[in-house]
Amino acid sequence: MEKKLLLYATSFFCGMSVMAVELSISRLLAPTFGTSQIIWTVIIGLIMISLSIGNILGGRSADKNNSLNKLYMIIWGAALWIAVIPFIGKYVIIAITGLLALFFSNDLLVTGTAISCLVLFSVPLVGLGMVSPYLVKLGVTDLENAGRTTGKIYAMNTIGSIIGTFLPTFVTIPYIGTNKTFLLFSLILNLICLSYFLIRKIRPIKVIISSLLVFVLIFLPLSNSYAFWKDCILEDESIYNYLQVSEDEEAVYLSTNVAFGVQSVYRKDNKLSGLYYDYALMAPQFLKEFSPDNNLDLLILGNGTGTYAKQSRIYYKNVKTDAVEIDPKIVELSKKYFGVTEDEATVYETDGRTFLSDRNCREYDVIMVDAYHDITIPFHMTTKEFFTEVSSHLKPGGVIILNINMKSKGDNPINQYLSQTVKSVMNKVYTCDIAGTTNVMLFASNDADMVNNFDINTGKFDSQNPLQRVSQYVRQNLQEVTGSELVFTDDLAPVEVLGQSLLNDIVKDELASFKDMINFKEKGLQGIFDMLK
């Protein structure tokens, strides 16, 4: 009976560890490769392949060795491998990405994710995949009850997997971080092996030492830095995001799920940010007979740390802002590091589309949709049904503004789909490419005179108004969207596939510029070393 309980416990905790490692993998990869559905697909696919290989090898090994000693040594090996990942994982990922960027830039994100998973995680997951067939082979001693015992072993593995799905997401990753989540489940596997060796009265000195070492590491203040090449004042994780806050003399910056790039910025001098938010400030100028003294009702879907809300309050004194942000930890950071106050925005912690579906949601003069980041796009906020919902919450003549962070040198249909989807709902739609960035601003209204309104309103700016230069740039770069054939719907919105293609183009463009800068064709790696001198 004691043996059976240990086998069931082994199946349970190994199943739990597999799912915990899978979820932790995604968080370890997120700062470099993002969290899109495509990245998740690669991760899940490779994990399932590793487990399948483990199943085959486990069955063969169980037939050949007919010993549980071998199994628990395999589990112990997987536990040690998982414990090492927090210390080498980020460096391995950066090294793989760097080499691929130099020598194989096509499909960098997918290829980088796949190779990183294979190098870092395939071995321990193959080992854990060997557990179930081993336990079935060596745990079934009563042939009359073989089916019942086998069912219990697989049931315990499945139950463990279910708990291992929820525990990292809602408990360990938000409260102790990704690195220590790896260590925690490594410790669990170590303790399972230790229990077996103690029951069998086999000298478990090595397992005792590894268990104590991992236990101590969990409580040590280990560095969780993924952006280890620069100074950050905070690196943290929430249920939704990897979070990075950095600061210099001029501003405070937030990055989410990326090692490079900025999602929010707070200028300490309250001047224009120099980013796309400045151009988004032009949205109220498309309203009929608008002036900075008018009352302005603003809704922001994807508030981040409140850059747009703060800037709107600076340049439009009578603005009343409702802001929606799904990540409560980002809301917390917005108050602690970015100076967002209740006077600047009433923040709602929910999904943007869910907020709009609330019967108590009021109407607004301007609705800003800023929920897209590269290919990490919530598809349900790109569809005709979504923009129909958005338009229903606009006041007459109100303006929708989108920040589309997906512009490359080539032509990609995702921008056409997004702009034409909006056009299928709104009377007038215009886009404005922001020079030197991957951002495209989209302005839309049912007022056919929105551009004429803009000209009249911005014509009142004096030369001292910081928005004058911004308004001139926007007016010169407005391009009307006339087609409405390419439309995303709730039923069909392949934003991930289209976004992946676009992001590949952006990466190739950036890498080509970098290689030209260091003269990579002639100097090779020496060009990089020369640059670093």
Residue 57 CB-density burial (10 A; 0-12 exposed, 13-18 middle, 19+ buried): middle
Catalytic residue among 278, 365, 370, 447: 370
Answer whether 383's CB lies under 8 Å from 421's CB: yes
Distance CA 280, CA 454 (A): 13
b/e sequence 194-230, b meaning 16+ C-beta within 10 Å: bbbbeeeeeebeebeebbeebeebbeeeeebebbeee
Answer whether 237's CB lies under 8 Å from 27's CB: yes
Answer whether 297's CB lies under 8 Å from 395's CB: yes
Helices 2-33 and 178-199 pack at an angle, to 10 degrees, of: 160
What 8-state DSSP symbol labels residue 382?
Answer: S
What 8-state DSSP symbol labels residue 434?
Answer: P
- CA distance between the termini of the chain: 66
| Amino acid letter, 35 | T
Helix (H), strand (E) counts: the chain: 20, 12
Distance CA 458, CA 214 (A): 63
In the numeric block, which tokens belong to residue 251? 């501003």
Distance CA 51, CA 337 (A): 43
Distance of CA 119 to the CA centre of its chain: 22
Pairing of strands 478-480, 428-433: antiparallel
Pairing of strands 234-237, 242-247: antiparallel
| Among the listed residues 390, 384, 386, the one whose alpha carbon sits nearest the alpha carbon of residue 417 | 384
Distance CA 6, CA 136 (A): 13
What 8-state DSSP symbol labels residue 277?
Answer: H
Residue located via tokens 């139950």: 159
Q: Residue 63 catalytic? A: no
Catalytic residue positions, numbered: 370
